[in-house]
């Protein structure tokens, strides 16, 4: 057993502490990272004391030394977007046939009876997998359509696995008009949050422009801005979303009208980014998710607004939605980060594998990807000083996959 003041020294072939790194945008993403070869991370009572070359490390007597071997050690990762609550539905949706087909396969599953112990097991397994993958913190959307829908079950599972969490409590559909002073929280989350510490780690959010009432989105965004909470929503994910918002037609509209939207719903006649802007949803403290359909001009507008963008490239690929326009996104100066989305659209919740995907598929350099996983993910979730192994920080680390190992 490690005593609280005991010293543990982790040795690794390479270490990327990211000390002093700020959230990176544009060209900053590609700047060299300070690397320590044959590195030692000195940890006292779970807190980083120093990160230095092994030969300079003078272990105090009684210190435990663990040699991690030929690996690259980095700060633990930030998974800025997941749907942990849906983990029990892994592998049951239709993939590679577009967004509307995927959604049509998901909707009936959400209404299935769900035994609490089955749900609890799925949540625990999902959280344990994320912790094992070196995840420090998750931005989790808790939806409103499950039998046990509030954030408390996910929070309990996350705590059991040592994960930090931001719970985004999702407004979906055209619920009764929102009085944001009294009811900023969606109904399914109110009981779990009222007067509880969990509320401080939670934020109301919108599902998407096509599925959440515009007045609700506006009110929640305004509440989050006043409370200094991150406001999150899915944006520019699919061609179906684009079609529905621009000309009011297509399969997504057929699926939503009468279910989530009123029969008299009318399309705003705008592309998603322009519509989000017209509702005042963009700006610092906002986390848009996906952006796979953003064009270069839209990426520039989003960057200019100060909005952060979470990419979930494997989820996009699995739904047949293509790849994010990485060149335009990075050149725009956007604050980019990574998320897995949920197990209904992804194979696992290891956010490092989103970075590996971008490395393999789009040749994004490792220094940019390591920043997306750490300092940028932390900043996008409003955790400005996290994502670094610096004296005084929590000793949360991950081992980088070989393709992200930084060798220059």
Which residues make up the interface to Zn ion (CB under 5 A)? 341
Quickly list DSSP for 213-267: -HHHHHHHHHHHHHHT--EEEEES--HHHHHHHHHS-SHHHHHHBTTTB-TT---
Strand order in the sheet with 77-82: 77-82, 135-142, 164-171, 202-206
Residue closer to Zn ion by CB (options 41, 165) is: 165
As a whole number of Å, the end-to-end CA separation of the chain is 38
Q: How far is the CB of 232 from Zn ion (least distance, A)?
A: 9
Residue 347 CB-density burial (10 A; 0-12 exposed, 13-18 middle, 19+ buried): middle
Nearest distance in Å: CB 352, Zn ion: 18
The sheet that has 335-338: what strands, in order across it? 231-235, 286-290, 308-311, 335-338
Nearer to Zn ion, 11 or 95 (CB): 95
- Cβ proximity to Zn ion, 29 vs 255, nearer residue: 255
Residue 52 class from Cβ within 10 Å (0-12 exposed, 13-18 middle, 19+ buried)? middle
Q: How far is the CB of 175 from Zn ion (least distance, A)?
A: 19
- Give me the least distance between CB of 14 and Zn ion, in Å please: 33
User: How far is residue 100 from each of residues 104, 222, 250, 309, 319, measured CA to CA in Å?
Assistant: 6, 30, 9, 22, 9
- Name the residue among 145, 147, 151 with its Cα closest to residue 113: 147
Cβ pair 210, 279 in contact under 8 A = no
Q: Shortest Cβ distance from residue 290 to Zn ion (Å)?
A: 7
Least CB distance from residue 12 to Zn ion, whole Å?
33
How far is it, in rounded angstroms, from Cα 189 to Cα 167?
10
Q: Minimum CB separation from Zn ion for residue 6, in Å? A: 41
Q: C-beta of 394: minimal distance to Zn ion in Å?
A: 27
> Cβ closer to Zn ion: 192 or 292?
292
Q: Do 7 and 34 touch, CB atoms closer than 8 A?
A: no
Tell me the pairing of strands 397-399 and 72-75.
antiparallel
Nearer to Zn ion, 21 or 341 (CB): 341
The smaller minimum CB distance to Zn ion, of residues 232 and 282, is found at 232
Closest residue to Zn ion using C-beta atoms: 341
**Cβ nearer to Zn ion, comparing 216 with 393:** 216
Q: Which is nearer to Zn ion, 341 or 354 (CB)?
A: 341
- The CB-side HSE value for 290 (13 A sphere, CA atoms) comes to 26
């Amino acid at each position: 057993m490690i005593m609280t003041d005991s010293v543990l020294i982790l040795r690794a072939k390479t270490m990327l502490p990211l000390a002093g790194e700020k959230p990176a945008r544009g060209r900053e993403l590609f700047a060299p990272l300070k690397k320590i070869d044959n590195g030692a991370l000195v940890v006292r009572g779970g807190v980083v004391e120093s990160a230095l070359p092994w030969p300079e490390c003078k272990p105090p007597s009684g210190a435990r030394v663990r040699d991690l071997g030929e690996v690259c050690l980095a700060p633990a990762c930030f998974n800025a977007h997941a749907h942990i609550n849906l983990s029990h539905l892994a592998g049951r949706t239709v993939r590679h046939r577009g967004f509307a087909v995927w959604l049509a396969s998901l909707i009936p599953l959400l209404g299935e009876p769900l035994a609490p112990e089955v749900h609890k097991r799925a949540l625990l397994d999902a959280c344990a997998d994320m912790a094992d993958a070196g995840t420090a913190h998750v931005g989790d959307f808790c939806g409103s359509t499950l039998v046990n829908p509030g954030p408390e079950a996910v929070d309990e599972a996350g705590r059991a696995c040592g994960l930090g969490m931001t719970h985004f409590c999702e407004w979906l559909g055209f619920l009764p008009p929102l009085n944001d002073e009294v009811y900023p929280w969606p109904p399914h989350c109110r009981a779990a949050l009222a007067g509880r510490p969990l509320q401080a780690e939670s934020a109301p959010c919108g599902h998407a422009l096509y599925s959440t009432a515009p007045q609700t989105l506006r009110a929640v965004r305004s509440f989050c801005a006043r409370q200094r909470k991150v406001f999150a929503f899915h944006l520019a994910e699919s061609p179906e979303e684009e079609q529905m918002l621009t000309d009011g037609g297509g399969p997504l509209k057929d699926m939503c009208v009468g279910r989530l939207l009123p029969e008299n719903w009318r399309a705003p006649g705008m592309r998603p980014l322009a519509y989000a802007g017209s509702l005042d949803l963009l700006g610092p403290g906002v986390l848009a998710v996906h952006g796979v359909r953003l064009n270069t001009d839209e990426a520039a507008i989003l960057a200019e607004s100060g909005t952060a963008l979470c990419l979930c490239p494997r989820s996009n690929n699995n739904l047949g939605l293509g790849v994010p326009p990485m060149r335009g996104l990075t050149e725009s100066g956007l604050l980019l980060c990574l998320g897995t989305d949920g197990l209904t659209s992804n194979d696992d919740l290891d956010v490092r594998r989103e970075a590996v995907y971008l490395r393999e598929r789009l040749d994004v350099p490792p220094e940019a990807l390591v920043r997306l996983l750490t300092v940028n993910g932390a900043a996008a979730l409003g955790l400005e000083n996290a994502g670094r192994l610096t004296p005084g920080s929590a000793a949360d680390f991950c081992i980088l996959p070989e393709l992200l190992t930084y060798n220059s």
